[in-house]
C-alpha cells in the first residue's frame, strides 16, 4: 500500500431515514453517538456540541465546565454534506496549527426517499506530520469511525434497520 493510499480513511453506512433526517441526526445528535471514552479533557464529558455553521466548532464540555474544541466546521450544506477539521495530533492532543490538521467530509446520499447512505471520508491525514500513521490507524480501527457510525445507525433502530458497510 502506498503512503498516499493510507492518508485517507473511508467508511459508509446506510440508515433507514430520509436524507434530511439523516443529516439532522448526525449534526444535532453528534454527542449521542460520539463515544464518551474519546475524551481529551481531564473531566468526564457532560456534552458534545456540534455548532451547525461554517466557522463553528465541535467541542466537548466537561462536567467541570472545561471545554475541548477538537474540530472546526469547514462546510455545512444541509442535507447533503458537512466537512470538519480533525484538530487532534498523533499524540492525541489538540493541534493548534490548522496546516497540521486533517479533514472529515460526511456526505448524505438518498438511496430512496426513506433510505440514506452516509459516506465518511477522513483525508489529508499526513498533514499531521511525523506520527500521522497513528492517526490513520486510530480512526480506521473498529474503535474509530466504525464505532461512531454504528452508534449513529443505532439511533435509527426504532423499529427500522440500518445496514453498515465498510
Q: What's the pTM value of the predicted model, to 2 decimals?
A: 0.91
Residues 63-84: what's their mean pLDDT?
98
- pLDDT tops 80 at residue 5: no
How far lies 13's CA from each of 4, 98, 128, 129, 133, in Å? 24, 29, 27, 30, 24
Say whether domain 3-159 belongs to CATH 3.50.50.60. no
- pLDDT tops 70 at residue 136: yes
Domain positions in the chain are: 3-159
Instruction: Kindly state the percentage of the chain with pLDDT values over 90.
Output: 90
58-71 CB burial, b ≥16 within 10 A, e <16: bbbbbeeeeebebb
pLDDT of residue 158: 62
Amino acid at each position: 500500500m502506498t503512503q498516499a493510499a493510507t492518508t485517507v480513511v473511508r467508511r459508509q453506512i446506510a440508515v433507514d431515514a430520509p436524507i434530511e433526517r439523516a443529516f439532522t441526526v448526525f449534526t444535532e445528535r453528534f454527542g449521542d453517538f460520539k463515544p464518551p471514552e474519546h475524551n481529551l479533557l481531564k473531566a468526564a464529558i457532560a456534552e458534545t456540541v456540534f455548532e451547525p455553521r461554517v466557522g463553528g466548532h465541535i467541542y466537548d464540555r466537561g462536567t467541570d465546565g472545561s471545554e475541548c474544541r477538537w474540530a472546526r466546521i469547514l462546510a455545512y450544506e444541509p442535507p447533503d454534506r458537512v466537512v470538519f477539521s480533525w484538530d487532534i495530533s498523533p499524540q492525541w492532543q489538540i493541534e493548534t496549527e490548522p496546516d497540521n490538521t486533517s479533514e472529515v467530509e460526511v456526505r448524505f446520499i438518498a438511496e430512496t426517499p426513506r433510505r440514506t447512505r452516509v459516506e465518511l471520508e477522513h483525508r489529508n491525514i499526513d498533514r499531521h506530520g511525523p506520527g500521522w500513521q497513528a492517526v490513520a490507524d486510530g480512526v480506521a480501527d473498529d474503535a474509530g469511525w466504525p464505532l461512531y457510525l454504528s452508534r449513529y445507525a443505532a439511533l435509527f433502530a426504532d423499529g427500522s434497520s440500518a445496514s453498515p458497510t465498510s
